[in-house]
């Protein structure tokens, strides 16, 4: 995973990365790069904010949520996504977040969802001159958190679109509950190897899908050692049953996002028009 996320398109399009404290003067507002902005009191509650020039209160916002099995990873894993999004969505703002990682006697839930809520509260109350229209892009655990927040906790329906890359979508899936990594996932997320049905449903993205859920695009690998291949179809079925627009993509030879260049390029060729059409 890590910084390979958008590397193929960086190579293909030769897009340059933004530098620290970079500004460009044009029009009414400058483009700004604000790194390590704190949105809470914990040292892990930081985010990078990229604001386009000439932004207004209609400027839409991408929110990037890194993976790492809920107990690892950082926003730096997603840093290569920023130049690509700037290339295709130059009028959008981008927010790349850290969140408090799971640890011993400190499971991911609910604190990581609380951190995402704090991010949105911070943005809504900021002076950045942006809108409250958001799209979320998450990988692995970050995809789970993105779906869970968008489907369950976004009661104002500010999240308009979600990209799920190899994210856990349904913990009640028998292929997941019997998976070798299931207990490790349960400990990281809920702090127990034997979660109750009530606990599972609370953190289960598909459980909270309604007709008002945002458009969703998903990508899964057929050889993923962490996520059963049944997760994608179960997510697709739940979204279809609720009448929510969605696109499901399976790469039969792909692992847990350790995909070859051709597969990655194909993914981007679907992801970019999805946001162009649904965000």
> What is the arithmetic mean of pLDDT over 2-30?
49
Q: What is the DSSP string of 243-273?
A: T--EEEEEETT--SS---HHHHHHHHHHHHH
Q: pLDDT tens digits, residue range 127-164?
A: 999 999 999 999 999 999 999 999 999 999 999 999 99
> 34 by DSSP, 3-state: which?
strand
Q: Report the C-alpha gap between 208 and 213 in whole angstroms.
A: 9
User: What is the domain extent for residue 106?
Assistant: 2-278
Q: pLDDT tens digits, residue range 25-74?
A: 344 899 999 999 999 999 999 999 999 999 999 999 999 999 999 999 99
The pairing of strands 215-221 and 246-251 is parallel
Residue with tokens 């329906």: 157
Could you count the other beta carbons within 10 Å of the beta carbon of residue 248? 18
Domain count along the chain: 1
Predicted confidence at residue 18, as pLDDT, reads 38
In this prediction, residue 189 has a pLDDT band, given cuts at 50, 70 and 90, of very high
Percentage of residues in the chain having pLDDT higher than 90: 90
Report the candidate in 132, 131, 165 with the shortest Cα–Cα distance to residue 147: 165
Predicted confidence at residue 6, as pLDDT, reads 53
pTM for the structure as a whole? 0.92
Phi-psi region of 81 (alpha: psi -120 to 50; beta: other; left: phi over 0): alpha
* CATH number (domain holding residue 196): 3.40.50.1820
Predicted confidence at residue 28, as pLDDT, reads 83
Q: pLDDT tens digits, residue range 79-108?
A: 989 999 999 999 999 999 999 999 999 999
């Amino acid at each position: 995973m890590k910084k390979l996320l958008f590397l193929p398109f960086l190579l293909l399009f030769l897009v340059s990365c933004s530098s620290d404290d970079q500004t460009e003067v044009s029009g009414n507002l400058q483009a700004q790069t604000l790194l390590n902005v704190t949105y809470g009191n914990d040292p892990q509650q930081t985010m990078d904010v990229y604001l386009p020039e000439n932004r207004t209160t209609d400027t839409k916002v991408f929110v990037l949520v890194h993976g790492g099995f809920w107990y690892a990873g950082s926003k730096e894993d997603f840093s290569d996504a920023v130049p690509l999004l700037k290339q295709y969505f130059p009028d959008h703002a981008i927010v790349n977040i850290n969140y408090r990682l799971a640890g011993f006697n400190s499971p991911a839930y609910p604190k990581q969802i609380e951190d995402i809520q704090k991010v949105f509260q911070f943005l809504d109350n900021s002076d950045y001159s942006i809108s409250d229209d958001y799209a979320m892009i998450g990988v692995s655990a970050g995809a789970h958190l993105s779906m869970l927040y968008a489907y369950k906790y976004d009661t104002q329906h500010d999240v308009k679109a979600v990209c799920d890359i190899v994210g856990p979508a349904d913990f009640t899936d028998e292929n997941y509950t019997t998976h070798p990594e299931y207990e490790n996932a349960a400990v990281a997320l809920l702090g127990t190897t034997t979660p109750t049905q009530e606990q599972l449903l609370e953190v289960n993205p598909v459980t909270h899908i309604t007709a008002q859920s945002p458009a969703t695009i998903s990508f899964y690998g057929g050889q993923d050692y962490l996520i059963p291949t049944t997760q994608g179809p179960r997510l697709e079925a739940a979204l279809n049953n609720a009448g929510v627009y969605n696109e499901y993509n399976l790469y039969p030879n792909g692992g847990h996002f350790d995909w070859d260049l051709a597969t990655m390029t194909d993914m981007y060729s679907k992801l970019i028009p999805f946001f162009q059409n649904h965000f």
